[in-house]
Structure 1
Amino acid sequence: MKKIIILFTLSIFLIGQSYAFESCAGDQDHNDRWERYRAEKVAFITTNLDLTPEEAQKFWPVYNQMEKERSEAQKMRRELEQKINDTETKLSDKEIIKLTREFAGSMEEEGKLSSKYNEKFLTILPPQKVLKLYQVENDFRMHMFKKFRDQRRKEGERP
């Protein structure tokens, strides 16, 4: 259970980073980078999950829908976070309680999405591959963190 929470937290962080990246880059540049990221992720998951062509045909539409819904839920949560950060005046206890409940509800919604899609994946893939999917997603995040870190180091070395 602890690993699932860590994986979920890391996925939230990575998607949050992608949105922060979006605001820094131009639209076309961002779209190009996002497409390269998505292509790399698809290749990484397909290869490491050892999907058969039949499994891949059923899996990717469901996975892509999950990613879309997860992104929307995380966007709503980030908007709540921004609302909290933008509040310059002191809030009443009642307003704070309302915000905390909305925030907790948004996190609960993301958890429900994970459970919903876990069940869908279990109808498409063998249970071992569903479990491996979570490991592969984490491996991909670590791969991207390392790649980003290495790229930053190289940029720092340039004269």
Structure 2
Amino acid sequence: MINKTLYIVSLTLLFFVQSVVVHAQHDKSDRWEKFRAEKVSFLTDKLDLTPEEAQSFWPVYNKMEKERMDAQMARRELEKQVRDAGETMSDKEIIKLTREFAQKMDEEGTLATKYNEQFLKILPPQKVLKMYKAEGEFRMYMFRKYRDQREGETKKD
């Protein structure tokens, strides 16, 4: 009897945890899609791309964004390793970790250089400069929006 009850409770708990995880992943995916859509709209508005420019620009920009995100995630993982590194690490381990960290930073810079050249082949230089400005403006817009939402939530409490 106890085994059957334990089994049912365990199974119920497993389904509950699984549904929470799936819901959290779905929420994260929805937020990411909303963020992406807002960014595309923001950049499209700021860059004033012609249809021909947009057709060439967006596939390259999306590829850059993916590569940049992958590089940033890898760097963040190394940042975590650096933060968690203890004094018990050998000099050899520390050297390896610091070199990997520097390499990841270098990769991000190489990506920026690579894609800058591609954008200059697609867009007039003025629009490439506008793109960089618009990305910065979008980041500031999102920071303000997030801050305002957080302040709104604390006022409700």
Question: TM-score when scaled to structure 1?
Answer: 0.81
Question: How do 1:15-94 residues align onto structure 2 when only pairs under 5 Å count?
Answer: 26-88=24-86, 90-94=88-92
More displaced 10-residue stretch of structure 1: 25-34 or 43-52? 25-34
Q: Structure 2: which amino acid aligns with 1:86?
A: D
Partner of 1:98: 96
Partners of 1:74 and 1:58 lie apart in 2 by 25
Partners of 2:112 and 2:85 lie apart in 1 by 31
Partner of 1:108: 106
Partner of 2:145: 147
For the residue of structure 1 that corresponds to 2:89, the secondary structure is coil
Q: Structure 2: which amino acid aligns with 1:123?
A: K
Identity between Structure 1 and Structure 2 (%): 63
Query: How many pairs does the alignment contain?
Result: 136
Partners of 1:148 and 1:76 lie apart in 2 by 25
Following TM superposition, by how much is the alpha carbon of 1:93 offset from its aligned partner in structure 2, in angstroms?
Answer: 2.1
The structure that has the greater radius of gyration is: 2
Following TM superposition, by how much is the alpha carbon of 1:67 offset from its aligned partner in structure 2, in angstroms?
Answer: 0.5
For the residue of structure 2 that corresponds to 1:26, the secondary structure is helix
Partners of 1:31 and 1:97 lie apart in 2 by 37
For the residue of structure 1 that corresponds to 2:88, the secondary structure is coil
Partners of 1:47 and 1:126 lie apart in 2 by 16
Q: Alpha-carbon deviations, 1:77-124, whole Å to 9, x = none?
A: 112122223334521222212211110110000000000000000010
Q: Which runs of 5+ in 1 are unaligned?
A: 1-22
Q: Which runs of 5+ in 2 are unaligned?
A: 1-20
Partners of 2:93 and 2:29 lie apart in 1 by 38
Question: TM-score when scaled to structure 2?
Answer: 0.82
Partners of 2:136 and 2:97 lie apart in 1 by 30
Larger relative contact order (Cα-Cα within 8 Å, sequence gap ≥ 6): 1
Partner of 1:6: none
